[in-house]
Amino acid sequence: MFDTSTAALTIRLPELPISAPQSFDRHGDGGSLVSAKSRLSHDRPLITVLLAAIFFLGLALRLCQLDTDSLWVDEIATATWSRLDPRLIMSRAYADNLPLTYVVTRLGAVLLGDTDFALRLPPALLGSISILLAYKVGEILWTRKDGLWGALLMAVSAYHIHYSQEVRHYALMVFLALLGLIFLLVALREGRVGPWVGFGLCTVLSLYNHYFALFFLPAEVVLAAWVIAEQWSARRGGEAHTSHINEHRLLSPPARQTVMFATSLASVALCYIPRLSAMRGLAAEQAGSEPLGVSMTRLQWSGRTIHEMFTIQMGAEGPVLLLWLALLLLGLAACERKRVAFVLLWIGTPFAFLSVVDLQIFHLRYLVFILPISLLVVGRGARLASDAVHRGLPRIVGDRRLQIVLSWTLTAFVVGGLCVPPLMDYYAEEKPDWRSAAGYMRESLLPGDIILADGDRHREGRDYYRVTLSLPFYLDRLGVPPTRILPVTSRLPQTLLEDLPDEPARIWAAIYHADMLSAGEAQDAVTMADFSEVLIVRLREPRGDTIQDTASMLHVLLDLLPPEAHFDLHLALGGIYAWTGRCDEARAELAMAEQLQPQSPEASQELSEAFSELEYTCQVTGAY
């Protein structure tokens, strides 16, 4: 089994007369096995205290400002899904989503409530527990010191804190990835059935939480196959001397490990069969138009994505990022070959996949599971650098106490220099305040009022979707009766006229502007309230005509928003003018939309349909 006090995954089979290693390997701390064991036993209380301090530090950072910001659009989607009937969640999840996060969110809401703090508490707790899991992985793979360093870096990682404060898949993804890896390492070390069952269960749950969980499975499979192959090799080497031992057992230890490993993988595959049809549909939907295969363009994109991932996950660029990467390489260089292969596969598998397949939707946050392994290797590099400095201090400084002070100063410099600036930036970041915007509107909304959700649908991000999902969520929480929120599109006039209120409606606009607003004269015609990237607009002097007030609000938005956001606004104005018989003005608006047309088939089709509908409407009304 594994000798956790060494840096190598040394295989020790109880049935074989293989002598245990008498010293740490060249990647360890040095010294004899006996003295190392006694030293570790002596240091265990100190390690426990340090680990507890690191855990509570990480927990405090993840609870800090947990509900200061309102939920963002993806979190609101998760909270909305979790409110559905569990059977509906499972049935729809098989088709287009993965159910585990929604089930966990629903359970959390039942136990804790559905406030922003209560919804975010389960991922914050999972993220905090992941710090302890990271320590355990580092302890098994390397040493307790390496585990402590990795846990410390994980505790203060702004990137991990960010995704531990989101009601999404990512905190659970990291938690299950680390827990499954621990089960695998213990199973390979001890050969018991329980850890193999735990590994299989965590793998299944991971695959039912996020599709990208597929990408850390190859690293685990290769590591397990490598270790089991070494067990077979060790048994063959000692077979002549041990043929009389354990003859009553049906299977030798390597054979039992092989069977349990294969059984775990088969169980995972069997449990994932219900998702295969959905996976095929998703693969067909997400695959781009380009054929599968490696190309120079894809390799370059994959390389840029690796650089971007490390820049974002480490919260650094330039010299600081180089320091992170130097520690990563130092920690990796001090690893045994199978550990190097494991780390490289854990980090590199998704990028190898992206070098072959063109995904339509990909976000770097899908790769958050890479972070803990990267930090553990960085922590190992930092520990080795710290040990080297500590060994050199007696030659420079004779005072033992001064040596300790200098060693801790180095540690504080590394952790502070690498992690504190990203933390400060994260907590200072302002996010869209949908909660306050809804509270402001609740005070003034009247029955029948209409809210226009700023168009701009053809820009990356589809900002209108943020408004139509986020604002109703918080208005509903505040007990506001259902209010019509209409996206600004070419279909706006038809949607408006199909259900025109009997009494004139006041027209509002809700804009997710993301700092793209420009100053304009029309601002004098409206009242505006800004809630950190969410702008609520209302006409100061409405005419009392719903159609005319809608057109007035659209002109206000044309004045407020930059030209790249005007395509949908001109389409909507063209439709309104056509329906009111002002065909010349309608043609002028559509001509403006044509000049601003985004490069997308969807936009081209909408513009063509708008021109056709304009001509038909004007012909019917005789307004040529």
Q: Are residues 231 and 350 in the same domain?
A: yes
The span from the CA of 104 to the CA of 167, in Å, is: 10
Distances (CA, A) of 120 to 63, 117, 169: 9, 5, 12
Backbone angles phi, psi at 526, to 5 degrees: -135, 160
Q: What is the pLDDT of residue 5?
A: 37
Structural domain span for residue 479 = 434-621
Burial class of residue 152 in the structure, from the number of CB atoms within 10 Å of its CB (0-12 exposed, 13-18 middle, 19+ buried): buried
Joined together, the tokens standing for residue 369 give 């599971």
Backbone angles phi, psi at 32, to 5 degrees: -75, 160
- Could you report the per-residue pLDDT of 6-25, keeping only the tens digit for each? 333 333 333 333 233 333 33
Structure letter (DSSP) for residue 529: E
Q: Are residues 578 and 539 in the same domain?
A: yes
Q: Are residues 55 and 176 in the same domain?
A: yes
Q: Determine how β-strand 507-512 pairs with β-strand 534-539.
A: antiparallel
Output the 3-class SS for 394-455: HHHCCCHHHHHHHHHHHHHHHHHHHHHHHHHHHHHCCCCCHHHHHHHHHCCCCCCCEEEECC
The span from the CA of 333 to the CA of 381, in Å, is: 9
Q: Determine how β-strand 484-487 pairs with β-strand 534-539.
A: unpaired
Cα 121 versus chain centre, distance: 16
The span from the CA of 611 to the CA of 616, in Å, is: 9
The span from the CA of 538 to the CA of 555, in Å, is: 13
Q: Are residues 368 and 447 in the same domain?
A: no
Burial class of residue 423 in the structure, from the number of CB atoms within 10 Å of its CB (0-12 exposed, 13-18 middle, 19+ buried): middle
Joined together, the tokens standing for residue 575 give 């439709």
Q: Are residues 442 and 397 in the same domain?
A: no
Q: How many residues are present in the chain?
A: 624
Q: What is the pLDDT of residue 356?
A: 87
Q: Tokens 């850890």 map to which residue?
A: 195
Structure letter (DSSP) for residue 514: T
Q: What is the pLDDT of residue 385?
A: 85
The span from the CA of 169 to the CA of 564, in Å, is: 33
In 77-191, beta strands by DSSP E: none
The span from the CA of 258 to the CA of 429, in Å, is: 50
Burial class of residue 608 in the structure, from the number of CB atoms within 10 Å of its CB (0-12 exposed, 13-18 middle, 19+ buried): exposed
Q: Are residues 390 and 491 in the same domain?
A: no
The span from the CA of 576 to the CA of 585, in Å, is: 10
Domain count, the chain: 2
Joined together, the tokens standing for residue 271 give 């449990």
The span from the CA of 171 to the CA of 554, in Å, is: 41
Q: Tokens 């072959």 map to which residue?
A: 356
Residue 570, amino acid: H
Specify if 522 maps to a domain: yes
Provide block-wise average pLDDT over 10 residues at a time, the chain (624 residues): 38 33 36 38 80 97 96 92 80 68 91 94 98 97 93 96 96 98 96 96 95 94 95 76 49 90 96 81 65 78 92 92 93 94 96 85 93 96 83 67 70 79 93 94 91 67 73 94 88 82 86 72 81 90 90 90 85 89 90 87 84 82 54
Helix/strand/coil for 537: strand
Joined together, the tokens standing for residue 176 give 């299950």
- Cβ neighbours for 117, distance < 8 A, ≥ 6 positions apart: 66, 67
The span from the CA of 70 to the CA of 474, in Å, is: 9
- Spatial contact of 222 and 345, defined as CB atoms under 8 Å apart: yes
Domain C-terminal end among 406, 428, 450: 428
In 544-613, beta strands by DSSP E: none
Q: What is the pLDDT of residue 202?
A: 98
Specify if 33 maps to a domain: no
Specify if 538 maps to a domain: yes
The span from the CA of 389 to the CA of 499, in Å, is: 75
The span from the CA of 45 to the CA of 283, in Å, is: 51
Helix/strand/coil for 512: strand
Q: What is the pLDDT of residue 358?
A: 79
- Could you report the per-residue pLDDT of 58-99, keeping only the tens digit for each? 999 999 999 999 999 899 999 998 888 777 777 665 555 688
Specify if 359 maps to a domain: yes
- Spatial contact of 219 and 342, defined as CB atoms under 8 Å apart: yes
The end-to-end CA distance of the chain, in Å, is 87
Q: Are residues 196 and 337 in the same domain?
A: yes
- Count CB-CB contacts under 10 A for residue 439: 16
Q: Are residues 386 and 483 in the same domain?
A: no
Distances (CA, A) of 314 to 157, 308, 309, 419, 448: 8, 10, 8, 8, 49
- Cβ neighbours for 214, distance < 8 A, ≥ 6 positions apart: 207
Backbone angles phi, psi at 335, to 5 degrees: -105, 155
Q: Are residues 452 and 392 in the same domain?
A: no
Q: Which of 102, 90, 104 is nearest to 278 (CA)?
A: 90
Q: What is the pLDDT of residue 261?
A: 97
Specify if 23 maps to a domain: no
The span from the CA of 580 to the CA of 463, in Å, is: 29
Specify if 245 maps to a domain: no
Domain C-terminal end among 428, 449, 467: 428
Q: Are residues 165 and 137 in the same domain?
A: yes
Q: Tokens 């527990």 map to which residue?
A: 129
The span from the CA of 195 to the CA of 189, in Å, is: 10
Specify if 28 maps to a domain: no
Q: Are residues 402 and 481 in the same domain?
A: no
Q: What is the pLDDT of residue 409?
A: 74
Domain C-terminal end among 391, 409, 428: 428
Q: Are residues 441 and 414 in the same domain?
A: no
Specify if 290 maps to a domain: yes
Q: What is the pLDDT of residue 251?
A: 76
